[in-house]
Structure 1
Amino acid sequence: MSGKPFQGLVFCPTSLPLSVSDDICMKVTKLGGTYTKDLTRLVNVLVVGELFTAKYNFAVKNRTDIVFVDPACVDTLYDQWLSGQDLLQLARFDMFQYLQTAFTMGPFEPFNVFIGRIRSNEEYSLDTIVEMCEKGKAKSIDTAHFIRNASSSSSLFITDDLTGNRVQAALEENVPVVHPKWVVDCMDRSGTLDFQSFYLLQNCHDLEYSDIGSGAYIRNVLKKPVVPQSDVAALPHDDASSALKLAINKFKPQATQIWGRLLAKDPNNSKNGATSSKPDDRDTSSLRPESLGETTNTPTFLNCHFVFYQFDPRQVSILSKVIKGNKGTSSLYQETTPSAAQYAGNTIYYVCPSDFPTESLPQIPSRHEWLTEFFVERCLYYGQLLPPDFWSKPFYNEFRISPPKSLLHGESLSFHITGFHGVELLHINKIIDFLKLKGFSHHEKLTKKTDFLIVNISQLTSIPHEHALRQNKYASMFRTDLDMKISVKQAQMFRNSMKRKIEFVKKTHPIPIITPSFIIELFHRSMKPEKDFISIYFNDINWCISCPKGSKQDFELKIIPIQNEQQVPEEEKLESPESVRPPSTASSTASGLPHVPKRANRWGKLLSNNVDTENEESSLIQDDTNENDHLSHTQVTYGSASVSHSMKRRKISTRSQAKDIISNV
């Protein structure tokens, strides 16, 4: 056996089964490479189990220094290494280049390609498109016929002419009709580009050839050198919670990059600003001016003044810089509120941290209301000044819970989330941190130990506008018009993921399916210290999509205000692990300040570094029969729950439309 042929290479998996991922990890490590489940700047080989995952889409669009291989590539090279072949000599001492030329996945491997009419032009011809599809390893190529009932997920129709019977048949079968430039660009990129966002013929048939696919990927970028071994050695191998010591940017959903973009450039240099500070070191090589949060027409915060309360100096500096860059102004909260004359013509917003207790907020003029940093994040993400909704308003409060025993499948009340992306994914992950302090536990994968499922109904297009879920006071949290921020392909990916999970709940594991409105209402109801406990019900029609059969008490969650906890009978209290109990408030009481939970690195990339990536990979549903849950290196894990002893329950809906909603997701 030759030396270490993978030395200096960093491998990352996407959408690989657990057993395959563990096997690849072992082989890569033995061959001298590094294996990490985080897509960082150091990764240069992506092991692909499935196309169009979040990692794959990000890498194919932005990382021209990454080569895409399938698991069989690692197996083949490992077997050759075991047989004694000198892989370095075989690769002429450039293993990265060898992988790129000999093992790169064909861009069209998963597809049956139907090719229709190709107009005569100087850029391509029918013969060149066919030749490219063959080199790209398409499953099959048909230039004469279109087969009806073909799978829309594995079939593509390539043409630059929307007329003709074959094109109409493909459209009727929901088979994507893609411009031939997609084939050309995929071969140029050596990867499968997102055709839904950039190359659908219906959207680009009127564009100039050079404009088709603009923004689909970074072109003409020199290959980066292989990572030095000294840097590779610093990558974590086993501990998913270890912080990287290198200056690397982990792969995040789109929303988590907002603050990085905004802080990368200060339009006014802000050297003389009262709240200016030296920003964190960031990679700004790929940033463009249009990513600074300003619109080309009206800056987001023009004629807006923000008053900050209880933020630390670094947070104030970040917020002030961002707001100033979007033509807004800011100041710190004082006992004397800003006068109308002082900020004439400005809309005033009072902003506090999302983890500051609502009951401790000072009084402000009745024409104004308190908001959290969520409001700033939402406006920046959507590129417009939004009306405050329940995502943006303060909700945090101290309480404990006593869950219904009939709902528990483990020691603590657990949940899983689905359908969240962008800035809403950021919000829900911060709220998850708060819920962990209250006795909840978060399952990163939907299993038979999960007690309830939280769904973002913005993705459930089957729920009509007149439905109660879209007409109650929390309806503004789920605006479908804002959801156009994502591409059609991404939206379909989220809906497919939700559909699989809802089907799992419907057929295998009957549990309540609710919206995030339940969580916000949970915090709001805890603001009643005069009561021993307050009840909230999972099957309330204001947030429940469907629920198993049972009495009202079977779904009653008791909210215990923190000062009334001792008044509740001991047998009704949740026996939760020490790891989820809230920290002592002794120190904060002594200082006269309300307790605020401490969370590391709350700020930075859109105020959070620990962003759940449950939407990165497909098919997270697992029938978890092992007591030891898999620890994901890309997500925070909370250990394993105990073996479920729940009794079988028949699933019913909380209203007559629930069955139709689930069946038509």
Structure 2
Amino acid sequence: MKTRKPLAGKTLCCTGVETKTRLQIIKNIDTLGGINYDDLMTDVQYLIVGNRKTEKYKFCIKYRPDIIFLTQDSIIKAYENWKIGEIDEIRLEDYKLPIFDEINTCFSRVDLPQFQIKNLINNASFRKSHIREEEFTSKKLMQSILDNGGKAKESLSNNQDCMISADPRGTRYDKAIEWKIPVVHPIWILDSILRGAALDFEDYILQEDNDQLYEKGCNDWNEIINPKPIKEKLPPITTNKDLPKKVNKSHKAEIWNSIMDNTKVQKKSKEQDSTWNDEESDSENEEPLKPTTTIDKKSKSTLFLGFCFLFVGLNSRESELLSERIETFQGEITKDVYDNSITHILVSANQGNHTPSTLKLLPSETKQKITNGEIKLVTEFFIERCIFYQKVILDRWGQPIKGLIQSTKKFKISTTGFTGIELLHIGKLIKFLNFEYCESLSDQRDLLILNINLFKESFMKNSPKLFQYKCKDILNCPTYQSGQSSVSLLSAKSKIDAAKKWNIPIVSIGYLWEIFEISRYKSILLMPEISNQQWCIYAPINYTRPKSLIEYIKNLNEEAFVTKSIEKGSDDENLIKLPSPKKIKTKQKYGKLIGTSSPQSIRNKLIEISKSNNSIGEMEENNQNKENYDITIDEDLSSQIRYEDDESMNNQERLLKKLDNSLNKNDEMELVQIRKRRRR
């Protein structure tokens, strides 16, 4: 029986590897007894490379000469060979990444004058005893590329990774610049062979200065040319009884400075640090493996060790809760705004665009430190994310959102495909906008936000622009949670189908974030167009629902979509108004309308009517079969209109009797005729 696993004592890390492959690699590493880190820890010995354009690779190639680079399939192949019994021991050095693996190059005007070659070699100490002058020929340099896994041609095409040239002139050079293909100096080939891995193109971009030495590709060439043996870390001898117990790693290590800001934190074991890789958001969408939310009371985590927080604008309840969590992880709280040890200023996430005014009372020295980046400005989301993932994550989620402005119109928004802390924070952001967050989807919803990582393979093929949204760390939302299976694909697909059936727009989280981006420093909340391919997954073709929420607001027009109050008589009162739908009512049979005013005006009106061709009697005869008829009333009489009933008839009779005495004889006969007609 084997007493030791083949990768015992080996520490590895992945970069640029697709999630599905990465999960398989991690599983195999665990089976073989190795330790996988999601972050680039100081004791990582091997980096499994799926893509060289990641920050991890660029950092290691320049600052970590102790790292050995492995191919993406190295662990999987080694595991398969070990499983079928072909090998008992695994030598990871046998799976090294070829220096120029899958790098496609074009050669153009590579030959250098002899004095330039001597200058490059003699003035850079690390090259003197390792690079020979005769290697600087086009033929040998091209062969070096081919021998180390790369491709080399003299023709240029727009799918090549770089062009090798010593002369910044010519048609191919101009075309490479036009196609944004990096043009690198030939010394890049020999330096990369010396380093044992392809160096970053940016450090070898061809310059017109012939005295340029191009020596910044690696920060520690001395250790490269005089390597130190790797000390293999062997686990303590254990018995089968002791195997289930985990090795306690309580000593500290310095996490990669671009994430941890040079702060000492506790080194996470394989079980503690199985987290989503945040710092590589520009190139890969990796997800949390096992987010940890439990706290070991016997051994407090040093997650916030060395951090000093100043709370600004928080109420007593918020301050109490956050202080307890920060101090549990050995962070410090200060109330002194002049304290020189402040590392983070914490404001409430719902402050949104009011954050600058919240910070106005801070001393100018403190404000300057915030501007210079010496003090980080964060929200409670930062604390929650760090605790959830058990590592320090400073990204857009945990920073103040300047474009967060409350809406006066409540839209109903649902989500699907999200889990963990991201699901919690999305729900909070929707509520901070004064929208309504709906856990269930129905035909009454206005928007469905989908986690595009749930269907990443399909979207990358059919809608790649969804992953090109500028805020890539926002797109990196996990699709599963610790202790549970993946987010239900069936449930998400059902919601998508239902949303299409109900003509509900479907967007990525990029749409929500774009609202914040375009509303920065504005007094009103702006809404981006939904149909933009950077976030649009489905937009209804017909107009039963509008293409954007702003259009939806204008159509409904129940209230203005602004944050400031509207006073009567102000310019803002002149908003678009649509008439309410008119309800068709059954015509009621009212009596004819007649106006009352002064006796003289009534007399004149009656005489005028009697003399007209359309007298009252004639009109009644012509319309006796009609259900309803309205008489047009002059404006001066319209203020005193009543319906003609028995009481009004009696009142008219009394009024007419009073008028008899004042009317002349010529009018008397006409009035008698009118009375007769009206009594019929």
Greater relative contact order structure (CA < 8 Å, 6+ sep): 1
TM-score, with length taken from structure 2:
0.44
**Structure (1 or 2) with the larger CA radius of gyration:** 2
* Structure with the larger helix share: 2
